[in-house]
């Protein structure tokens, strides 16, 4: 059975979406996660950001990285750099494919820094490992996470990553098994076409899909720190 994603009436979609874009930017509604409230990110006037995962991923990622100003920070996947004025300090960015000034183009598996990082952040990138590449390697996401933990992050460092549920089957099954190195796994679920989210749980995350019932990710993982080895 092919599931068709929900959408607003096409006759009113553009004006309604424009109105909600204005609402998000001006009135700055917020969402709750781990007992804290965060303002949805909707600063870009492209009418897109507030309607996809970035609306919640960016506030969480920025809050995390804010604790590491002027520290040795790594971003895996060049995402934050596409949103201006988010981080007022220099940090290292590794992205295998995206060409941009200051971005190190290398596979994360092959990246071995001289000095390990105090903090590592990754926004909707790890789910692509091994499946959205020319050389398919489904288990690569697990290999990459273990490499990050062992070779990139300092023993006292912190890790933060988000990823949509339903994009990478190996990642989904690994998290559902409970046998991951993550210290904490949270969930956020999209609850409307216009970009509102609420905190969720593993039970609701199971079986979630991208692009159904809404466009892009419908449930995201929020992965924080590693257990002591």
Q: What is the pLDDT of residue 161?
A: 98
The yes-or-no verdict on residue 6 having pLDDT over 60 is no
* Residue 222 domain flag: yes
**Rounded-to-10 torsion of CA 93, 96, 101, 102:** 30
Residue ranges making up the domain that contains 119: 52-226
Structure confidence by residue, pLDDT tens digits, 126-170: 999 999 998 899 999 999 999 999 999 999 999 999 999 999 999
* Residue 1 domain flag: no
Share of the chain above pLDDT 90, in %: 67
Structure confidence by residue, pLDDT tens digits, 65-77: 989 988 999 999 9
Question: For residue 140, what is the domain's CATH number?
Answer: 3.40.50.150
Across the chain, the runs of DSSP E, i.e. the strands, are: 30-33, 36-39, 73-76, 92-94, 103-104, 117-123, 153-164, 182-190, 197-199, 219-226
Q: What is the pLDDT of residue 229?
A: 67
Structure confidence by residue, pLDDT tens digits, 156-165: 999 999 999 9
The yes-or-no verdict on residue 7 having pLDDT over 60 is no
Q: Domain total for the chain?
A: 1
* Residue 41 domain flag: no
Find the length of the chain.
Answer: 229
Question: Which contacts qualify for 155-158: CB closer than 8 Å, 24 or more apart?
Answer: 156/118, 157/116, 157/117, 157/118, 157/119, 157/120, 158/64, 158/67, 158/68, 158/118, 158/119, 158/120, 158/224, 158/225
* Residue 188 domain flag: yes
* Residue 37 domain flag: no
* Residue 18 domain flag: no
* Residue 32 domain flag: no
Structure confidence by residue, pLDDT tens digits, 21-71: 777 788 889 999 999 999 998 875 555 666 789 999 999 999 999 899 889
* Residue 161 domain flag: yes
């Amino acid at each position: 059975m092919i599931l068709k994603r929900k959408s607003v009436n096409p006759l009113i979609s553009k004006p309604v979406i424009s109105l909600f874009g204005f609402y998000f930017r001006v009135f700055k509604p917020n969402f709750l996660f781990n007992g804290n409230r965060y303002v949805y990110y909707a600063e870009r006037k492209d009418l897109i950001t507030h309607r996809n995962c970035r609306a919640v991923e960016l506030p969480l990622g920025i809050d995390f990285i804010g604790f590491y100003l002027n520290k040795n920070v790594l971003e895996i996947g060049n995402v934050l750099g596409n949103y201006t004025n988010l981080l007022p300090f220099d940090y290292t960015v590794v992205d295998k494919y995206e060409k941009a000034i200051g971005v190190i183009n290398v596979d994360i598996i092959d990246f071995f820094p001289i000095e390990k990082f105090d903090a590592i952040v990754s926004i909707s990138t790890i789910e692509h490992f091994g499946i959205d590449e020319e050389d398919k390697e489904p288990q690569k996401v697990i290999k990459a996470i273990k490499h990050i933990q062992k070779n990139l992050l300092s023993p006292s460092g912190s890790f933060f990553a988000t990823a949509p549920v339903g994009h990478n089957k190996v990642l989904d099954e690994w998290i559902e098994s409970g046998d991951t190195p993550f210290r904490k796994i949270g969930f956020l679920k999209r609850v409307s076409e216009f970009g509102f989210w609420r905190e969720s749980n593993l039970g609701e995350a199971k079986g979630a899909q991208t692009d159904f019932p809404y466009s892009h990710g419908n449930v995201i993982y929020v992965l924080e720190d590693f257990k002591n080895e």
